[in-house]
Amino acid sequence: MLIAATLAIFVTMILAIVRGITGPTLYDRILAVNMFGTKTVLLIALLGFVMGRPEFLDIAIVYALINFISVIGVLRYSDTDQFNHTPPQNEQTEKER
């Protein structure tokens, strides 16, 4: 049953990757990659129980934190003008300064 659960999570990760490859806008891709990361955390936890080595959970915790920081890090660029040449909110903050 644990193996079936692992396979189900694996299929879900494949679906996320399909959306990441096709997904029309940039944000669809980031969303798909983020979901891929959270599902990886679950996969690692499940694999730890399948193999009888619950120490894998440490890796799962670290992976969750890295995934969070990477998504936030990518999205920090959207506050500056890395994605768009003239983002409206950026001009406002410059005027306020």
Residue 4 or 94: the one with the smaller Cβ distance to another protein is 4
Of 26, 21, 33, 22, residue with least CA distance to 82: 26
85: left (phi over 0), alpha (psi -120 to 50) or beta: alpha
Residues binding another protein (CB under 8 A): 1-2, 4-5, 8-9, 11-13, 15-16, 18-19, 24-28, 30-32, 34-35, 38-39, 41-42, 45-46, 49, 54, 57-58, 60-61, 64-65, 67-68, 71-72, 75, 78-79, 83-84, 87-89
The least distance separating another protein from the CB of residue 51, rounded to whole angstroms, comes to 13
Task: Answer whether 71's CB lies under 8 Å from 31's CB.
Answer: no
